[in-house]
Amino acid sequence: MQKQEMNLQEIALAHSLTLEEFENIKEILGREPNYVEIGIFSAMWSEHCSYKSSKKYLSGFPTSAPWVIQGPGENAGVIDIGDGYAAVFKMESHNHPSFIEPYQGAATGVGGILRDVFTMGARPIANMNSIRFASIEGNSETAKKHRFLLRGVVAGIGGYGNCMGVPTIGGETTFEECYAGNNLVNAFTIGLAKSNEIFLGKAEGLGNPVMYVGSKTGRDGLGGAVMSSAAFTEDSESKRPTVQVGDPFTEKLLLEACLELFKADLIIGIQDMGAAGLTSSSFEMAGRSGSGMIMHLDKVPAREEGMTPYDFMLSESQERMLICAKKGCEQGVIDIFEKWELDVAVIGEVTNTGNMELFWHGEKCAEVPVQPVSEQAPVLDRPTKKPAYLDGIENITLDKEISNQAAFDDLFSDMEVVDKSWVYSQYDSMVQTNTIKGPGSLDGSSIRIKETGKALSMSADCNTRLCYINPELGAAAAVMESGRNVAMTGAVPKAITDCLNFGNPTNPEVMWQFAASCEGIKKACRELNTPVIGGNVSLYNETNGVGVFPTPSIAMVGVNEDANKVLPSCVQENGNILYILGETKSEFGASLYMKKMYGKVAGTHPEVNFTKELALWNTVIEANKLGLLKSAKDVNIGGIAISAAKMAVVGNKGIEISISLNDSKDIFSESLSRAIVELKPENCQTFEEVAKSFNIEYTRIGQVGGDKISINDIYKDLDKASFVYFNRFKQVIEQDL
């Protein structure tokens, strides 16, 4: 199995292993590794699989609470949602593959996260995604490229999710020039399971059979984990073969087969074959249990002729699982998967040696101790340095004479603000018939739990501009925003999963950003009582030395005790009264106003106050329980003016707002911990008492009605604003079709 044309050291370097790591491998094995073993170590010790640069900073995340059933370390996190049920959820990146091949990269990202969830024993009930690109406006080569990427990514997400019969009910699409060389695709799935029927990825019990199920193994995706752990250059196109190819119809069969398997009490553990394929699944399963494993690679179902042990171990072919079955139950497992017309084979067994022993037609072709590979990957303490760009970033004055009307017109037509129905209309949001609040409805999305009469609400958020000017506070603000969006539906935020997207970790400034962002998440989750139950780190989002802004995407999940009380985020009835909750200050750091009017991402980060944030959540949740509110929307991008206008156009009703502010342009301020709420006139007094009880500022600012949007000195016909809001995105994305 040796590559004779290169010496072992050269082979190791070609696999992105360092000389130090190569020496470490020789020490672990007590000999030189062979080609297969080098492949195994390179995959498991890649950034993507081992978290070697990030692990230091991930420790200390708050991960426990009375409602947390399973925290980080498994395929997905699990929380108790009452009545004997659990929500299983995770978010993961597929950034690099989606840049190289947008359709398959995004599609397999959705497929992978779905498998992570149903591997735990849960039926997937909803998807979300967070996708980020450079500007798609204009005729520059970058704009044309990103229109192409966006169309491909959206088609891939829709193509896979729709075929699986899982609704895509929310997400975000944002634009920033830092994503010119690396678009980001983060996929989220949530599933439902009985709380006492959660399955884990473990292999234990001497002699228990190891079984392969799902699709046959081909050569697609070879080296995918290593590719995802490197920065891009101009030749990224050459990496196309490392992108996996998905088949959602096979995955649908795999989902149903696995759910049937779980009911039959035939297995010990099960693991998705994701990044690094059979290598990661086998080592992780054995590693969690401290056991060993024998695998006969010639017994793995093959899709191509002439495949080698190396190919079988490193392939990232999709729609595959590794199972540790109970001894004597092999035929029961085989019967289920054959019924669903899927490949199934006994390929090995659990041992107590602590080693992974691989055989090829009866001959041993590799033997590696499990623990050093799976649990003892290098933990790097990379140097950190405060980025030079932060020096003086706060020194900016907003001194232009700009009318609020002109600013509003500019901001309201921005790609970040306008409706993305062109995107979400390609996703089936209503399949399974449980969607209560879907895409385009503003703020959090909600899905009914038929079995209990409750609802789950969720939101995926990150303001990357805030993270750029202050990574710690920006990351905290992302947790706050995702929780706020969930609270606006009336649900109690319970836990997060994250997807931490950053540039090249060999750059000390990037590592400083990462460390600071982790601190922000830790503080926010601790103060808001929303533990981290899983997540993903994606580094090396850099092309030709230019990295992305820090992008710690946060997905929050919350529980609404009554599915009939999910709160809308757009105006509902003429004559209703509008209030602003929270304090508005002149806070324009990294705001959309500053970006559009001044062409800068700079300034001071808005105040982060967890007490005020919790007060806001609790006020809205309690007022909703009492039936006082008709709608609620958080105030974020573009401030009161843009948030209120969105409520109006989505609800198709005019609004009239008058609010006294320190400066007239504060109507666009992006102060945190604020919301606009709508209620009937007769409920105002009771509502004010609720707000007082939580010690939150409240101001009556206007009412619903008419055919205009009137906000202080801003006026817009409702129909004209609606035309811009609902049509602008389509005009831009389809301009070169």
Residues carrying an active site annotation: 48, 94
Buried b (16+ CB within 10 A) or exposed e, 25-54: beebbeeebbbbbbbbbbbbbbbbbbbbbb
Contact 503, 548 (CB under 8 A): yes
Strand partners of residue 132:
174, 184
DSSP structure class, residue 414: S
290: left (phi over 0), alpha (psi -120 to 50) or beta: left
Give the Å distances, CA to CA, from 105 to 36, 154, 185, 187, 415. Answer: 26, 11, 9, 11, 23
Residue found under tokens 């509110």: 629
Contact 679, 632 (CB under 8 A): no
Candidates 491, 596, 458; CA nearest to 77 is 458
| Identity at 312, one-letter amino acid code | F
Taking the C-alpha atoms of residue 256 and residue 254, their distance in angstroms, rounded to an integer, is 6
HEC sequence for 307-367: CCHHHHHHCCCCCEEEEEECCCCHHHHHHHHHHCCCEEEEEEEEECCCEEEEEECCEEEEE
- Pairing state between β 355-360 and 292-296: parallel
Q: What is the CA radius of gyration of the chain?
A: 26
Q: For the beta carbon of residue 704, count every other beta carbon within 10 angstroms.
A: 23
Buried b (16+ CB within 10 A) or exposed e, 439-469: bbbbbbbbbbbeebebbbbbbbbbbbbbbbb
- How many CA atoms lie less than 13 Å away from 143 in the CB half-sphere? 12
Taking the C-alpha atoms of residue 17 and residue 43, their distance in angstroms, rounded to an integer, is 9
- Pairing state between β 546-547 and 532-538: unpaired
Contact 531, 471 (CB under 8 A): no
Candidates 675, 190, 679; CA nearest to 480 is 675
Residue found under tokens 């006294």: 660
Residue found under tokens 């085989």: 334
* Strand runs labelled E in 384-529: 435-437, 445-449, 454-461, 492-501
Measured distance between the N- and C-terminal CA atoms of the chain, rounded to whole angstroms:
49
| 175: Cβ contacts below 8 Å, ≥ 6 apart | 132, 133, 134, 135, 136, 415, 416
Give the Å distances, CA to CA, from 667 to 30, 123, 442, 634, 639. Answer: 68, 44, 19, 14, 6
Q: Helix axis angle, 277-289 relative to 35-44, nearest 10°?
A: 70
Contact 670, 639 (CB under 8 A): yes
Read off φ and ψ for residue 111, nearest 5 degrees.
-60, -40
